[in-house]
Structure 1
Amino acid sequence: MTLEQVAQDAMQIILHAGEARKHCTDALKDIENSDFDSAKEKMKLANAEIVIAHRVQTNCIQKETEGAKGEYSVLFAHAQDTLMTVYSEINIAKRLIDIFESLNQRLIQLEMANK
Structure 2
Amino acid sequence: MEDNNQFSEENVKNTMNIILNAGDARDFISKALDDVANSNYDNAKENMKKANEKLVKAHRLQTKKIQEEAEGKPIQYSVLFTHAQDTLMTINTEYNLANHLIKIFEKRDCQCKGDLNEKK
For this structure pair, what is the TM-score category when the shorter chain's length is used for normalisation?
over 0.9
1:69 Cα deviation (Å)?
2.1
Are 2:98 and 1:96 equivalent residues in the alignment? no
Q: How many residues align?
A: 115
**Taking structure 2 as the reference length, what is the TM-score of the superposition?**
0.92
List alignment gaps of at least 5 residues for structure 1. Answer: none
Contact preservation (8 Å) 1:54, 1:83 = yes
What are the within-5 Å matches in structure 2 for residues 31-110 of structure 1? Answer: 31-110=36-115
- Where does structure 1 differ by over 2 angstroms across 4 or more consecutive aligned residues? none
Letter in 1 for 2:50: L
Q: Distance in 2 between matches of 1:54 and 1:35?
A: 28
1:113 Cα deviation (Å)?
1.1
RMSD value, Cα = 1.1
**Taking structure 1 as the reference length, what is the TM-score of the superposition?**
0.96
Query: Percent identity of the aligned residues?
Result: 48
SS, match of residue 90 in structure 2: helix
SS, match of residue 77 in structure 2: coil
1:10 Cα deviation (Å)?
1.1
